[in-house]
Amino acid sequence: MSRQVEQAAPPQLDRADVRVKHEAGLSGSIRAFFDRVRSGDLGSLPVIVGLVIIWTVFASINPIFLSSSNLVNLLFDSSTVGVIALGIVCVLMVGEIDLSVGSISGFASALVGTLWVNQGWPVALAILAAIAVGGFIGALYALLFNRLGMPSFVSTLAGLLAVLGLQLYILGSTGSINLPYGSNLVNFGQLLVMPKFVSFGLAAVPGIVMLITGLRTVARRRAANLSAPSTGGIVTRAVAITIVLELIVFYLNQARGIPWMFGLFVGLVIAMHYALTRTKWGRSMSAVGGNREAARRAGINVRLIYSSAFVLCSMLAAFGGVLSAARLASASQQAGTGDVNLNAIAAAVIGGTSLFGGRGSAYSALLGIIVIQSIASGLTLLDLSSSLRYMITGAVLAIAVIVDSLARRSRVSHGRA
């Protein structure tokens, strides 16, 4: 084959095989997209379609749902559980699960309450201590998993109860600690929004970054004699995403604006996305989730990867707990109980992270939690009881998993699983 390449000079390194059709140009990339979807490689398409349906239904019943002030509240609520869901993405990537994230978040909020309000620690130190304790719990799960072979399902189920017990223990007889109104932490969780120019500026960043990295990649690929995507396509996509983001920001700025807490959440999502897709650690996470034995034989320290997933998940759960304490301005016995656990796991799964490991994206936490919170917010606006809310959220989770299974089957039959 190398001789053929020498004879016919033009073919690029990855275009030497004449049997493969390659789509070119804008129409080509649209066609390739439909081909991908048809073969079951859905990406985040189902969650976006689902979101459109949910929003249409709720908006037609109650127009307030899509008002910018309601959406701003939705973003405040999404950030807390969203951070926890981001940790769930980590453990799902390696094919494990953490069922105790709700308890850990509640324990972390209780810890911040006692250390900061009752013991008089500086708030930053109290938050760091809560996150460190979260990391310690994750390290314990990793130890049980790596050294004793305890399935994460069981160890974290035990942790769910044990950590809840710790939370009740440190809250003591009072049962709840109110965080002082007017403090920075509570303001951050309830009030602080970005100034308008900052939000417009930040909304332009993804498009600019996309454009710069995209053009640089094209240049490098051309230099290396590899095929490269068309410059026009990159510019189109960057412009489109900038317009969409600016419109969203413009609409939300009609009300209070973009919460800083949501900005922090999105920042974490982007950082996690980078870590999962562009670093050796992220590659190893996918490999361990896809084929543990192959990863081990490739020289990857599989135990370390599992540990990093568990520790990161518990730390993010603890941080999410701190944020929700700030949002509610209290650390109570109810914090982290009820549907927090399942909302976090459901968000990751609805967003498109596979329950079976090896497939997932940090963005699934963002998209999934917006779906979950939209349902919660819409049903609250309709004045429906939480009984109905649980049933509907459960049904949406079931549908998400069904879509995932069907897509997986389609991928298998198209040789892409």
Which residues contribute to the site for other proteins (CB under 8 A)?
1-2, 5, 13-14, 16-17, 19-20, 217, 220-221, 224-226, 278-281, 283-284, 286-287, 289-291, 293-301, 358-359, 411, 415-417
User: What is the three-class DSSP state of 179?
Assistant: coil
Between 7 and 385, CB nearer to other proteins: 7
Shortest separation between residue 14's beta carbon and other proteins, angstroms: 6
Retrieve residue 283's tokens. Answer: 């590659």
Angle between helices 231-253 and 68-93 (to 10 degrees): 130
Please state the separation of Cα 321 from the chain's center in Å.
Answer: 16
Residue 48's identity, in one-letter code, is: I
**DSSP 8-state class, residue 259:** B
- Residue 108: CB minimum distance to other proteins, A: 29
Query: Taking the complex as a whole, how short is the minimal distance between the CB of residue 61 and other proteins, in angstroms?
Result: 41
**Comparison of 83 and 272: residue with beta carbon closer to other proteins:** 272
Sign of CA dihedral 319, 325, 327, 332: positive
Is residue 332 within a helix (H) or strand (E), and if so which, with residue range?
strand 330-332
> Would you say 88 or 300 has its CB closer to other proteins?
300
Q: Closest approach of Cβ 284 to other proteins, in Å? A: 7
Give the nearer residue to other proteins in terms of CB position, either 224 or 399: 224
What minimum distance in Å lies between the beta carbon of 214 and other proteins?
A: 13
CA dist 179 to 13, 82, 129, 319, 333, Å?
A: 61, 22, 17, 16, 14
Specify the residue, 137 or 287, whose C-beta has the smaller distance to other proteins.
287
How far apart are CB 290 and other proteins at their closest, in Å? Answer: 4
Residues linked to residue 177 through DSSP beta bridges, in sequence order: 331
Q: What is the spatial distance between Cα 85 and Cα 339, in angstroms, rounded to a whole number?
A: 13
Q: Give 301's DSSP letter.
A: -
* Residue 397 zone, left/alpha/beta (φ > 0; ψ -120 to 50; rest): alpha
Closest approach, Cβ 184 to other proteins, in A, equals 33
Nearer to other proteins, 12 or 118 (CB): 12
For the chain, the maximum distance between any two Cα atoms, rounded to a whole number of angstroms, is 84
Task: Give the nearer residue to other proteins in terms of CB position, either 351 or 357.
Answer: 357
Q: Which is nearer to other proteins, 159 or 357 (CB)?
A: 357
CB of 11 to other proteins, least distance (A): 11
Cα gap 91→97, rounded to integer Å: 6
From residue 22, how far is each of 25, 26, 211 by CA, in Å?
10, 12, 23
